[in-house]
Structure 1
Amino acid sequence: MLKAVETVRNRAMGFLKASKTFGVLRSSLENYVNHKIIQDAEVLCSTKLGRKCVLPDELESKLAEYRMVMEERFYGLRTNDIRSLVFQISSQKQLETPFLRRQRSSR
């Protein structure tokens, strides 16, 4: 990503060619290049863009390992299963989350 950002900023390549050459997403490359606040490409590429993670890195890696174990046992977890697990973990650990605590209405 760092080389791709520097190449585009130096106008040696366009977004599309640089994304194909360096194997990065064009939209992500555009976000990094067009980020006006941080001019240093090295600092920019080490900065996380997007939403803040709900779980700490340690818990997130444990959840990823659990997902892989379940996959090896032919019990793949769906996206909603993972979300439910994250919600349960964050509730037990009393982590601050963006999740809403809604009660389901019975029909």
Structure 2
Amino acid sequence: MTYVVTESCIQCKYTDCVDVCPVDCFVEGPNFLAIDPEECIDCTLCVAECPVEAIFAEDDVPEDQQEFIEINAKLAKVWPIITAKKDALPDADAFAGQANKKELLIEE
């Protein structure tokens, strides 16, 4: 089993989770983080660190967020690894807690 970053991360990109990851399984895009399912060791450390509760065990991903399992796997193959905490996006607090942000995801 792996962990999955879901829609809550979009346009926030808090990186507290990256700081505690022992295997550097996070990748970074313009406005979202994803977890490489091939690198994740299921340690659960990142879950408690996410201030917007965007990270779930694959088996616990909410029904309306299931597509993020595939999105994480796809983006992990193209985005660079992030290994250290960075500042969140400037408007992160305004987007925290908002729903229906998938259309804002920048995958390039």
TM-score bucket (shorter structure): under 0.3
* Largest Rg, 1 or 2: 1
The structure richer in strand per residue is: 2
What is the TM-score with the length of structure 2 in the denominator?
0.24
> Could you say which structure has the greater relative contact order, defined with CA pairs below 8 angstroms and 6 or more residues apart?
2
What is the TM-score with the length of structure 1 in the denominator?
0.24
